[in-house]
Amino acid sequence: MAGGRKDLVLELRQIVRGFGLGETRIDVLKKINFQLARGEVVALLGPSGSGKSTLLHIAGLLEKPESGDVVIHGKACTTMSDSQRTAMRRKELGFVYQFHHLLPEFTAMENVALPQMIAGKSRRKAEEKAAQLLGELGLSARVAHQPMQLSGGEQQRVAIARALANGPAVLLADEPTGNLDPRTAGAVFENLMALVRGTGLAALIATHNFDLARTMDRVVRLEDGHLSESAPGAL
């Protein structure tokens, strides 16, 4: 992995997370260690139910581990207050989910501008950035459309633009093309990779698609609570 490098943006240190079912405990993450450097795109593989989403939620400061620490740009985040964690998420992290989660009453432009305005940017500047991102994703003609007026692929492109709107250091994506047909999924993934490569941010992308995983820099596999690494060409 990227140990010892000065350009690390995300580290998971000895992360433990389990869940109780009655008198039974299921250990989902067993002392997970992981490092992600600027410019890296890493595929996260694993069987359904292996804990990939839990791992992403912890990395994204949406959920706390039982023990261990999440470190972003050298700052330990697990003991931060809720407001500090929220500020860190807003500044450093972008999220793309399997379902787009766009606000249905707002246009594509507004969906991408809103998180920027929440972060303190003026409406004009936010809309300028939104227009730029949507244009790079081939949606210049769709900026005034609401989600229900967009195709599934277009909706997911808007979600990608929203995730990148605040210039995060890390993109976390959970099956970002999982709800799309293969042809659309490939096109959306190409858009996503072009933007990620173009901005130089780091990305951790959970996927079941080996073809997509092979295009990334590294592959990590979560199974039985442990994380192992393999070369993309070995898939």
What are the pLDDT digits (tens) for 163-219? 999 989 999 999 887 777 888 888 888 888 888 888 888 999 998 888 888 889 999
222-233, pLDDT tens digit by residue?
999 898 987 676
pLDDT of residue 235: 65
Superfamily of domain 40-53+89-234: P-loop containing nucleotide triphosphate hydrolases (3.40.50.300)
pLDDT at 37: 92
Q: Residue range 57-72: average pLDDT?
A: 93
- State residue 1's pLDDT score: 43
What are the residue boundaries of the structural domains of the chain, listed by start?
40-53+89-234
pLDDT band for 18, please (50, 70, 90 cuts): confident
- According to the model, what pLDDT value does residue 5 have? 56
Q: Does residue 4 register a pLDDT over 80?
A: no
Mean predicted confidence (pLDDT) in 99-125:
92
Rounded average pLDDT over 104-125: 94
pLDDT given at position 190: 84
CA nearest to 93, candidates 111, 107, 77, 106 = 77
pLDDT in tens, 205-225: 998 888 888 889 999 999 998
d(CA 30, CA 12): 12
pLDDT digits (tens, 9 = 90+) for 137-150: 889 999 999 999 99
Per-residue 3-state assignment (H helix, E strand, C coil) for the chain:
CCCCCCCEEEEEEEEEEEEEECCEEEEEEEEEEEEEECCCEEEEECCCCCCHHHHHHHHCCCCCCCEEEEEECCEECCCCCHHHHHHHHHHHEEEECCCCCCCCCCCHHHHHHHHHHHCCCCHHHHHHHHHHHHHHCCCHHHCCCCHHHCCHHHHHHHHHHHHHCCCCCEEEEECCCCCCCHHHHHHHHHHHHHHHHHHCCEEEEECCCHHHHCCCCEEEEEECCEEEEECHHHC
With 0-12 / 13-18 / 19 or more C-beta atoms within 10 angstroms meaning exposed / middle / buried, residue 217 is middle
Segment 27-49 shows an average pLDDT of 91
Q: State mean pLDDT over 18-25.
A: 80
**More confident position, 106 or 187:** 106
| Sign of the alpha-carbon torsion through 132, 134, 138, 144 | negative
Query: What percentage of the chain carries pLDDT values higher than 90?
Result: 53
